[in-house]
Structure 1
Amino acid sequence: MTLPQTPSFRLDGKRALVAGASSGIGLACAVALAEAGAHVVLAARSADKLAKLVDELTAKGMSAEALALDVSDIAATQAAVAANGPFDVLVNSAGLARHTPAEETSEEDFDAVAGLNIKGAYFLTQAVAKGLIEAGKPGSLINISSQMAKVGGLDRAVYSATKHAVEGFTKSMAIEWGKKGIRVNTICPTFIVTPLTKQTFDRPERRAWVEEKIKLGRIGEVEDIMGGVVYLASDASALVTGTALMIDGGWTAE
C-alpha cells in the first residue's frame, strides 16, 4: 500500500508581497512567510520602518526586502507591482478603520475607509494577478478581511461594509482565475491586539463586549494568524479558493 503524503507547507523559491507589513497582522504574516522559506517583499508607506524590519529578518537568516507603497494610490501600486513582480503570494493587510455610530459617519471617513479597504485591496489583488497571468504562473492571493465580513458590530457599519465587499470580490476573482491556477482567499480574524484595535480595548465596555463574544475566552494575538497564512500560501491548501478562513475564536459560530 502506498501511503498518502502530506503536501508541503514550505514556500522555498516563492516570492511573496505583503502589503501593510510595517506592523500588526501584516508584519506577523511577513515573518511567517519568511520563516517558511519565501522571499518576502515588505510593503507599506513607512520606508524607514520597513528598512529596520528587513534588517531584523535578514539578521535571522530570512530573505526579505522593502518596498515603499501606498495601496490607496492605485496607479503607483500597479506600477510597483509590475516592476517588482511577478509575486507567487500576495498578503494584503493594508487596512483602515474609523469607528463611529452609523448616524455619525462622515462622507470623508466613508471614502477613506472604502478607498483603502475596498478599492485599494481590489486593485492590488488585480495587479498581482495580472503579473501571474502574464507570466503563466499559479499563485495564492490572500486578503486580510475580518470577522466583521460575516456579522455586524457596534460602531462598525462602514468597516463591516468594506469587509463584506472584500469577501464578494474574492469569490468572483476566485471563479475567474481558478482555471489559471490562481487561488484567492481571505483570512477573517477576530479582534487582535494591534495598534488598530487600541481604541477599542481602551474602552472597558467595548473590551467586555469583545471578550463576551469570543467563545475561546481570549482576545487574539498576531501569532494566531501566522499558521493560517502559511497554510493558504502553500501547497497544503492547493484545493482551497474563494473562501474565508475564520480565525475568530468562535465569534461567528452562533
Structure 2
Amino acid sequence: MDKFHKKNQIEQKKQAELIQKDEFADFEGSKAELAFLKFTHFLARNRKSVFIGLASAIVVLAVVIGFFEYRAYLFEKETVTLEDLKLNHQKSKVGLDAQIQSLETFLQNQSTGKMELRVWKDLSKLYAEKGEFGKAAGFLEDAAKKIDTPKEIKALYFYVAGNYREREKNNTKSLENYKIAATVIEPARELNGFKAWSYYQAGRLSYLNGDKAGAKQYLEKAVKLDVAESGEDVKLLSSYLLLKLGKN
C-alpha cells in the first residue's frame, strides 16, 4: 500500500511538472509578453510567499531609513547645542574651569559620537590656556588619531601636541608626536615649510634625548628641503644643530 501511494505521488508530481511546462506551449505573443504572463502566474501561485517577502523588505528598508534619519537629527541637534553652549561662554565671559566642565559634560552626554573631534580641539585649547599641557596634548592626540584626511590636519594636531608635551617636560612623548607629524606630512610636496619644521623638531628632540644618529637624519632632511624664504630660519637652525652634532 505504501509503495502504491508513493508511486502515485511521483506520478502526480511528474504530471504537474508536465502541465507546468506545457502551460504556455501554445502562446504566440512576444517574449516580453510571455515573460510577463509567466511572472503573473508565478505571483498567483505564490501570493503568500511573495507578500511576506515584500512586506519584510519594506519593513527592513523603513527601519534602516528611520535609523539614519534619527542619527542625522541627533547630529543636527547636538551641533546646535554645542554652538549655543560656546556662544553662551562668549557672551557670559565664563571662566576656563566652567567652560571645560560644560564641554566635558556635553561630551559625556552626546550620543552620536560625531562631535568628539570638535570638542576635543576646544578642550585642548582651553587646557593649554590653563597651563595643563598634558591634558591639552592628550585631547589633540586623540583627535589626530581619529583623523584620516586631510593629512595636513592630522600632522598639525600631532605637531602641536608635541609642543604641548615638551612644555609638559615630557620629551619622550613630545618626540613621538613630532616623529608622527613628520611621517604623516612627508608625502606632501606643497608643504615643505611645515615639513621642515617637523623634521627640525624631531631632530632637535632626538638630540636632546641622546639619539644623535636619529637627530642627524631628521636635521639633514630639513636642510635639504627646498623651502620659501620664510622657511630659511628652520634651515639655519637645523644647520646649527648639525654643526653641534659634528663637534660632539
Q: TM-score, normalised by structure 2?
A: 0.24
Q: Which has the higher contact order (CA 8 A, sep 6+)?
A: 1
Q: Per residue, is there more strand in 1 or in 2?
A: 1
Q: Which has the larger radius of gyration?
A: 2
Q: TM-score, normalised by structure 1?
A: 0.24
Q: Per residue, is there more helix in 1 or in 2?
A: 2
